[in-house]
A and B are shown apart, each in its own frame.
Chain A
Amino acid sequence: MVEMQVPRTGIVLDAPGDHDTHAAHEPPLITGGKTPADVTRDVCSPLEAGPTRLWWFAFGAALLALLVGAVCVTYQVAVGIGTWGLNRTVGWAFDITNFVFWVGIGHAGTLISAVLLLMRQRWRTSINRSAEAMTIFAVMCAGLFPLIHMGRPWLAHWVFPYPNMRGPLWVNFRSPLLWDVFAIGTYFTISAVFWYIGLLPDLATVRDRARGLRRRVFTFFSLGWNGSARTWARWEMACLLLAALATPLVVSVHSVVSMDFATAVIPGWHTTVFPPYFVIGAVFSGFAMVLTLMLIARRVMALQDYITPRHINAMCKVVVFTGSIVGTAYAMELFIAWYSGSPYEQFAFANRVFGPMGWAYGIMVGCNVLVPQLLWLKRVRASVAAIFTISLLVNVGMWFERFVIIVTSLQRDFLPSSWTGYAPTLIELGTLLGSFGLFFTCFLLFCRFLPMIAMAEVRAVVAEKPHAHHGEPDPEGTEPIRRDASADIGLMHYAAFDAADDLLAATRAARRQGLTVVDAHTPHPVHGLDKAMGLRRSRLPFVTLACGAAGAALALRFQYWTSSSDWPLDVGGKPFDSLPAFVPVAFEVMVLLAGLGTAGALLVRSRLRPGGSGIPAPEGCTDDRYVLIVRRHDASASDAAIDELWSRHAAADRWTEYRSC
Chain B
Amino acid sequence: MLKSLSVNARIFLVVAVGFGVFAIAASADFQAPNVHQGYAPEQPIAYSHRTHAGELGIDCLYCHYGARTSPVAGIPATGLCMNCHATVTAGLDAVVAEREQAEAESRPAATILSPEIAKLWAAQGLDVNGQPAGEPHPIPWVRVHNLPDFVAFDHSVHVNRGLACATCHGPVQTMERVRQESDLSMGWCLDCHRGKAADPTLVLNAEHGRLPAGEHVSTDCSACHY
Q: Is A175 on the interface with B (CB-CB < 8 A)? A: no
Residue numbers in B under 8 Å from A162 (CB-CB): 31
A168 partner, pick from B8, B11, B26, B187, beta carbons under 8 A: B187
Query: How far, in Å, is A616 (CB) from chain B's closest CB?
Result: 15
Q: Which B residue's beta carbon lies closest to that of A608? A: B8
A165 near B183 (CB under 8 angstroms)? yes
A165 & B185 in contact (Cβ 8 Å cutoff): yes
The 8 A CB mask of B183-205 against A (1 = contact, 0 = none) is 10111101000000000000000
A379 interface hit (Cβ, 8 Å): no
**Does A659 lie at the interface of the complex (its beta carbon under 8 Å from any beta carbon of B)?**
no
A269 and B185 CA atoms in complex are apart in Å by 40
How many whole Å from B194's CB to the nearest CB in chain A? 9
- Distance in angstroms from B61 CB to nearest chain A CB is 30
Q: Does B7 contact A (CB under 8 A)?
A: yes
Taking the complex as formed, is A660 at the interface, i.e. its CB lies under 8 A from any CB of chain B?
no
Least CB distance, B36 to chain A, in whole angstroms: 12
From DSSP, what is the main secondary structure of chain A's interface residues? loop
Residue of A nearest to B191 (CB): A167
**Are B11 and A609 in contact, with the CB atoms below 8 A?**
yes
A638 is an interface residue with CB less than 8 A from chain B:
no
A16 contacts B by Cβ under 8 Å: no
**Who on chain B is nearest to A568 by CB?**
B219
B187–A165 contact, CB under 8 A? yes
B156 in contact (CB, < 8 A): no
Q: Give chain B residues whose Cβ lies under 8 Å from the Cβ of A539.
A: none
**A611 CB contacts on chain B under 8 angstroms:** 7
Which listed residue, B7, B11, B33, B219, touches A165 by the CB 8 Å rule? B33
Residue A604 at the B interface, CB < 8 A?
yes
User: Do B30 and A166 have beta carbons less than 8 Å apart?
Assistant: no
A-facing residues in B1-59 (Cβ within 8 Å): 7-8, 11, 26-27, 30-34
Cα distance A166–B34 in the bound complex, in angstroms = 11
- With known contacts A604-B8, A609-B7, A609-B11, A165–B32 Cβ distance under 8 A: yes
Contact of B185 among A157, A163, A166, A610 (CB under 8 A): A166
A165:B8 contact, CB within 8 angstroms: no
**Complexed CA–CA distance, A157 and B190 (Å):** 22
B7 pairs with A167, CB closer than 8 A: no
Name B219's closest neighbour in chain A (CB-CB). A567
C-alpha gap A157/B11 in the complex (Å): 27
Interface string of A601-615 (1 = CB under 8 A from B): 000100101110100
In the bound complex, do residue B186 and residue A609 qualify as a contact, i.e. CB atoms below 8 Å apart?
no
Do the beta carbons of A167 and B11 come within 8 Å of each other?
no
Residues in chain B near residue A168, CB distance under 8 A = 187
A-B contact pairs, 11 of them (CB 8 A): A162-B31, A163-B27, A164-B30, A165-B34, A165-B183, A165-B187, A166-B185, A166-B187, A167-B187, A169-B186, A607-B8
Hey, which bits of chain B sit against chain A, CB under 8 A? Answer: 7-8, 11, 26-27, 30-34, 183, 185-188, 190, 219
- Which residues of A pack against B, CB within 8 Å? 157, 162-169, 567, 604, 607, 609-611, 613
The 8 closest A-B pairs by CB, nearest first: A165-B185, A164-B31, A166-B186, A165-B187, A167-B190, A167-B187, A609-B8, A613-B7
Query: With contacts A162-B31, A166-B187 known, what are 12 further pairs, Cβ within 8 A?
Result: A157-B30, A163-B27, A164-B30, A164-B187, A165-B34, A165-B186, A166-B185, A166-B186, A167-B186, A167-B190, A609-B8, A610-B11
